[in-house]
Amino acid sequence: MPLLEGEEEIICNSVTDILGKLGTSREKLIPVLQQVQNKLGYLPTLAMHKIAENMKIPAVDVYGIATFYNQFRLNPPGKHQFKVCMGTACYMVGGNIALDSFERRLSIKEGETTPDREFSLERVACVGCCTLAPVVLVDEEVEGHVTPTRVDGILLTFETNGEKKTEEGTEEEGGSEV
Amino acid sequence: MKIATAAEHYAGMKAKAEQKINSLQEKTLIRVGAATCGLAAGAQKVKDTFVEEIKHKGLDAEIIEVGCMGHCYAEPMAIISKPGFPALCYGHMDEGLAKLLVEEFLGNDDPCYEYALVALEPNDIFPTFSDFPRDAYEKKIILEHCGFIDPEDIDHYLAREGYASLVKTLQMKPEEIISAMVDSGLRGRGGAGFPVGKKWTICRNTPSEIKYIICNADEGDPGAFMDRSVLESNPHQVIEGMLICAYAVGATKGYIYVRNEYPLAVQRVKTAIEQARKKGLLGSAILDSTFSFDLEVFEGSGAFVCGEESALINSMEGKMGVPQARPPYMAVSGFWGRPTVLNNVKTFAYVTAIIKKGAGWFREIGTEATPGTAVFTLVGKVANTGLVEVPMGTTLRQLVFDIGEGIPNDKEFKAVQIGGPSGGCLPEETLDIPIDFDSLEKAGAIMGSGGLVVLDEDDCMVAIARYFLEFTQQESCGKCTFCRLGTKHMLDILTRITQGKGSLADLDILQELAEDIKMGSLCNLGKTAPNPILTTLRYFRDEYEAHILEGRCPARMCKDLILYYIVPEKCTKLCNVCVGSCPVEAIYTREDGLKAIDQEKCVKCDNCLKTCPPEHNAVIKLSPPVLPEE
């Protein structure tokens, strides 16, 4: 995923900051990664290289920890996140069908983010509301009994909301000119 | 002298708590079930509506959040106790019902019985839980208080004789505690069923200045959520159990290892620890005795294999969560090389109850080899989903058909999947085996952490086996070659079979690989990963053969082996629902006005089948995917 303008600087500063706070001894690796992710939302390749350099450990070890634990993500999260539950109960009643629909509509695979960083798609293990299966978490809101039609509905809501916002934005701009 | 102070200290604390709870009960009390499951179903909105309406009407009532009662099918739930009425529980709550209840029940003394689910106390008007069929089987030890007390207020637990077991413990010798555990026959509830008394004895007898207690709440099975539910609904019972354990083995420091995917559980446990510390129930000189113990929460980074104890400890030490060969056992050399007792959430919750009511009482429940109860998350194709606690020895049939009340929508029962990804699928003929560690293992499944998924005729056993293997394959830590490569190889074969490209020789390779992986893996993840395949091969071989020989998926679930078809005789020309529902515009209107599916375009999303009006039901799935001649 290409970095946005000015992102490189933010990454470097955050890493230096966090390393300064926690120190560079090896057992701090997981907490450092956790904090970097909290700050940036994900672990950019650049950040992992910086950490490896400063901790004087091979970059592959950092990458190893980052990919071993499910908590860490290597893609930036989208502005809106879809998490499709793939617990047993959801899978049984068509969780994969919902996931397919998202993948088809957004043209990305699970674990990826759309190029405009608007949406990201993930699969999660059981969110604990098996009675509503299949379940999708839309920005932490639970959507139950999700069919492909509902997927279209969810995306359409975001689209129309987005359009509304841009309209409002242009109106405001227009107003200031007058 | 010292002992008297501990008991006195506690008595004072408890009296205060009771006073507080009693004053709560003098006015109307609304308890909203707000564990993750309840919140997901909309409990927050229900609670907000209650608060708003009560304020709006100027009524005097108290609203608190409680945990999960285990009746997941009826979430969100609320309990209203109004003086003069039996405490009533309402299920399937929404904002409208909350509004109505405030107006009619709180305002006008009409409890709206038509919406009530159950009454909590025996009365002349409304049935109670004991009138439910499942109550005849249920025996609640761990879930006793869950859903009735406020997990974020220690006084609720204290008023229900919470921490009385700790006081009793402080008056006993550590050896007495351990022998009580041995006598009770309690076995660890993490899945393997190791005797708790034995583990504690080893730890107690290993000399060391520092010892640790770790509570394993790294519940990673998809479809199991009882540990989360217990921590969210009644964290103090677990903390009390850990205190008792620490006193018995001589530990001073403990950790609760919770998945970071359970933010609510993490927060509630932290609150509970804080409150216990304030009351002098954690920290140094607990209840003015010489016993000191403190607790901390460790947030796991999310790796299924970290449920294995040596992997869990590795990850706590900041390394990759990779299991190690044993011995030495954790009880001898665990966290930072010190003797460590590592038990599951439920195990610690049992400890509290055993000390309170005695080892003999516990032995009476369940079976000879496995005393006590089993907690299951009953999900899948079953009418009453939820969290159930039954004595060991209850049969699977009772669990599915009496407690769960059978399969919904007139479908045919096919199998139960028990024990999560490490468990197995058991068919109809095994339903009469009693539930305990040993019988289940004999049938090819395992007790595991207690996830129980009911499958019906629409579930393809090959696809289910593939689903679980996909999970374990992803979660394999990669240390042992058999587990790392063997599961991948098996997954490839299963994928091929679900695509209709398998051969009969594949089944023999699967069998062989499964046995090799079992033998060649260090930890239980690898040793149990082939279970879903072995059991389905053993009990549902005909389904594998149908996929391979006929290119047919009997349950019509495997995408590559089905096609969607609109039956011309059933299709009405007058509606366009399916056309609109299709995400890829594969459905068109034929020249004669009937609808048809362009098989080239169809992505098999199931939408048309769901949207076709039930009076027509014209869309069907065909397997093998061959279009009928017209």
Q: Which amino acid is at B175?
A: E
Q: Are residues A52 and A102 in the same domain?
A: no
Q: Radius of gyration over alpha carbons of chain B, in Å? A: 27
Q: Which residues of B431-453 are buried (b: 16+ CB within 10 A; e: fewer)?
A: bebbbbbebbeebbbbbbbbbbb
User: Which CA distances in Å does B299 have to A64, B255, B259, B302, B394?
Assistant: 19, 10, 6, 9, 35
Determine the residue among B226, B301, B498 to mutate to test chain A binding: the one whose Cβ has the most chain A Cβ atoms within 10 Å.
B301
**What CATH number has the domain spanning B162-363?**
3.40.50.11540
**What are the φ and ψ backbone dihedral angles of B90, each rounded to 5 degrees?**
-115, 135
Number of Cβ pairs < 8 A linking chain A and chain B: 117
Does residue B386 carry a pLDDT above 80?
Answer: yes
Contact at CB, A125 and B611, closer than 8 angstroms? no
pLDDT classification of A128: cutoffs 50, 70, 90: low
How deeply is B55 buried, as exposed, middle or buried, from its count of CB atoms within 10 A (0-12, 13-18, 19+)?
exposed
Q: Is residue A84 part of a domain?
A: yes
Determine the residue among B468, B606, B609, B619 to mutate to test chain A binding: the one whose Cβ has the most chain A Cβ atoms within 10 Å.
B606
Residues of chain B numbered 558-617 and touching chain A (CB < 8 Å): 581, 583-584, 603, 605-607, 610-611
Does residue B245 carry a pLDDT above 90?
Answer: yes
Query: Does A159 touch chain B if contact means CB atoms closer than 8 Å?
Result: no
Closest to B463 (Cα-Cα) out of B502, B428, B508: B502
pLDDT classification of B520: cutoffs 50, 70, 90: very high
Stated length of chain B: 630
pLDDT classification of B566: cutoffs 50, 70, 90: very high
Domain ranges of chain B: 20-132, 162-363, 373-456, 461-550, 562-622
Report the percent of chain B where pLDDT is more than 70. Answer: 99
User: How near does any CA of chain A get to the CA of B4, in Å?
Assistant: 45
Contact at CB, A71 and B260, closer than 8 angstroms? yes
For strands A136-138 and B61-66, give the pairing: unpaired
A158: left (phi over 0), alpha (psi -120 to 50) or beta: alpha
CA distance B544 to B549: 9
Does residue B18 carry a pLDDT above 50?
Answer: yes
**What are the φ and ψ backbone dihedral angles of B577, each rounded to 5 degrees?**
-55, -45
Query: Does A71 touch chain B if contact means CB atoms closer than 8 Å?
Result: yes
Mean pLDDT to the nearest integer, B1-12: 77
Q: Which helix (H) or strand (E) holds A177?
A: helix A148-177
Number of domains in chain A: 2
Determine the residue among A32, A88, A135 to mutate to test chain B binding: the one whose Cβ has the most chain B Cβ atoms within 10 Å.
A88
User: How near does any CA of chain A get to the CA of B621, in Å?
Assistant: 15
pLDDT of res. A165: 62
Q: Are residues A38 and A60 in the same domain?
A: yes
Q: Is residue A75 part of a domain?
A: no
Joined tokens for residue B374: 């089993």
Query: Does A58 touch chain B if contact means CB atoms closer than 8 Å?
Result: no
Contact at CB, A148 and B606, closer than 8 angstroms? yes
Domain residues for the domain of A30 are: 7-68
Give A-chain residues touching B260 at CB under 8 angstroms: 71
Q: What is the pLDDT of residues B469-497, one digit of tens each?
A: 999 999 999 999 999 999 999 999 999 99
Give A-chain residues touching B379 at CB under 8 angstroms: 88-89, 130-131
Q: What is the ipTM of this complex?
A: 0.80
What is the chain B residue with the closest CA to A31? B318
Contact at CB, A88 and B581, closer than 8 angstroms? no
Q: What is the pLDDT of residues B290-334, one digit of tens each?
A: 999 999 998 888 788 888 899 999 888 878 889 998 888 999 999
pLDDT of res. B447: 84
How deeply is B16 buried, as exposed, middle or buried, from its count of CB atoms within 10 A (0-12, 13-18, 19+)?
middle
Contact at CB, A124 and B320, closer than 8 angstroms? no
pLDDT of res. A175: 39
Q: Considering A45, A68, A91, which residue would you say is the last residue of a domain?
A: A68
- Which residue do the tokens 């027509």 mark? B616
Mean pLDDT to the nearest integer, B252-273: 91
pLDDT of res. A173: 43
Q: Which fold has domain B562-622?
A: Alpha-Beta Plaits (3.30.70)
Q: Answer for the pair B269, B182: CB distance below 8 angstroms, yes or no.
A: no
Closest to B569 (Cα-Cα) out of B533, B620, B622: B620
| B283 contact partners, CB below 8 Å, separation of at least 6 | B277, B292, B293, B294
Q: Are residues A109 and A64 in the same domain?
A: no
Determine the residue among A63, A68, A135 to mutate to test chain B binding: the one whose Cβ has the most chain B Cβ atoms within 10 Å.
A68
Give B-chain residues touching A98 at CB under 8 angstroms: none
Contact at CB, B453 and A70, closer than 8 angstroms? no
Does residue B222 carry a pLDDT above 80?
Answer: no
Q: Are residues A102 and A147 in the same domain?
A: yes
CA distance B616 to B593: 15
Give A-chain residues touching B610 at CB under 8 angstroms: 147
CA distance B333 to A129: 39
pLDDT of res. A166: 62
Query: Does B263 touch chain A if contact means CB atoms closer than 8 Å?
Result: no
pLDDT of res. B204: 96
Closest to B416 (Cα-Cα) out of B389, B382, B466: B382
Q: Are residues A91 and A14 in the same domain?
A: no
Q: What is the pLDDT of residues A65-102, one digit of tens each?
A: 898 888 898 888 888 999 998 888 888 888 888 999 99
Q: Are residues A38 and A61 in the same domain?
A: yes
Does residue A111 carry a pLDDT above 70?
Answer: yes
Query: Does A138 touch chain B if contact means CB atoms closer than 8 Å?
Result: no
User: How near does any CA of chain A get to the CA of B540, in Å?
Assistant: 18
pLDDT classification of B562: cutoffs 50, 70, 90: very high
User: How near does any CA of chain B get to the CA of A151, in Å?
Assistant: 10
Give A-chain residues touching B36 at CB under 8 angstroms: 127-129
CA distance B614 to B579: 16
Determine the residue among B77, B257, B607 to mutate to test chain A binding: the one whose Cβ has the most chain A Cβ atoms within 10 Å.
B607
Report the percent of chain A where pLDDT is more than 70. Answer: 89
Give B-chain residues touching A103 at CB under 8 angstroms: none
Residues of chain B numbered 309-338 and touching chain A (CB < 8 Å): 315, 317-318, 320-321
**What CATH number has the domain spanning B461-550?**
1.20.1440.230
Q: What is the pLDDT of residues B31-90, one digit of tens each?
A: 999 888 788 788 999 999 999 999 999 888 999 999 988 888 888 999 999 988 889 999
Query: Does A73 touch chain B if contact means CB atoms closer than 8 Å?
Result: no
DSSP label at residue B83: T
pLDDT of res. B348: 96
Mean pLDDT to the nearest integer, B246-252: 96
For strands B587-589 and B451-456, give the pairing: unpaired
What is the chain A residue with the closest CA to B478? A68
Q: What is the pLDDT of residues B397-407, one digit of tens each?
A: 999 999 999 99
Mean pLDDT to the nearest integer, B562-567: 94
Query: Does A16 touch chain B if contact means CB atoms closer than 8 Å?
Result: no
Mean pLDDT to the nearest integer, B561-572: 93
Number of neighbours of residue A163 by Cβ within 10 angstroms = 10
Q: Is residue A2 part of a domain?
A: no
Q: What is the pLDDT of residues B438-462, one digit of tens each?
A: 888 888 888 887 888 899 999 999 9
CA distance B251 to B334: 13
Q: Which fold has domain B20-132?
A: Glutaredoxin (3.40.30)
Q: Are residues A156 and A134 in the same domain?
A: yes
CA distance B4 to B587: 81
Contact at CB, B603 and A104, closer than 8 angstroms? yes
**What CATH number has the domain spanning B373-456?**
3.10.20.600
User: How near does any CA of chain A get to the CA of B320, in Å?
Assistant: 6
Contact at CB, B471 and A125, closer than 8 angstroms? yes
Query: Does A25 touch chain B if contact means CB atoms closer than 8 Å?
Result: no
Residues of chain A numbered 92-121 and touching chain B (CB < 8 Å): 92, 94, 97, 100-101, 104-105
Q: Are residues A95 and A161 in the same domain?
A: yes
Q: Considering A68, A89, A116, which residue would you say is the last residue of a domain?
A: A68
Q: Which amino acid is at A150?
A: R
pLDDT of res. B27: 87
Contact at CB, B223 and A130, closer than 8 angstroms? yes
Query: Does A64 touch chain B if contact means CB atoms closer than 8 Å?
Result: yes
Q: Are residues A51 and A91 in the same domain?
A: no
Residues of chain B numbered 122-161 and touching chain A (CB < 8 Å): none
Joined tokens for residue B281: 């129930």
Q: Are residues A42 and A102 in the same domain?
A: no
Q: Are residues A26 and A86 in the same domain?
A: no
Give A-chain residues touching B222 at CB under 8 angstroms: 86-88, 91, 125-126
Mean pLDDT to the nearest integer, A115-140: 83
Q: Answer for the pair B46, B34: CB distance below 8 angstroms, yes or no.
A: no
What is the chain A residue with the closest CA to B74? A131
pLDDT classification of B548: cutoffs 50, 70, 90: very high
Whether residue B207 is preceded by a cis peptide bond, meaning omega within 30 degrees of 0, is no
User: How near does any CA of chain A get to the CA of B502, in Å?
Assistant: 22
Same fold, B373-456 and B461-550: no
Q: Answer for the pair B85, B111: CB distance below 8 angstroms, yes or no.
A: yes
Mean pLDDT to the nearest integer, A41-59: 92
CA distance B116 to B105: 11
Sign of the Cα pseudo-torsion (B69, B71, B72, B78, in order): negative
Report the percent of chain B where pLDDT is more than 90. Answer: 66
Q: Is residue A73 part of a domain?
A: no
- Mean pLDDT estimate for chain B: 91
Contact at CB, A92 and B381, closer than 8 angstroms? yes
Q: What is the pLDDT of residues B118-150, one digit of tens each?
A: 998 888 888 888 888 788 888 999 999 999 999
Contact at CB, A89 and B453, closer than 8 angstroms? yes
| Least confident stretch, A15-19, B254-258, B313-317, B391-395 | B313-317
User: Which CA distances in Å does B316 have to B319, B335, B347, B437, B476?
Assistant: 7, 8, 21, 29, 18
Q: Answer for the pair B122, B159: CB distance below 8 angstroms, yes or no.
A: no
Q: Are residues A51 and A130 in the same domain?
A: no
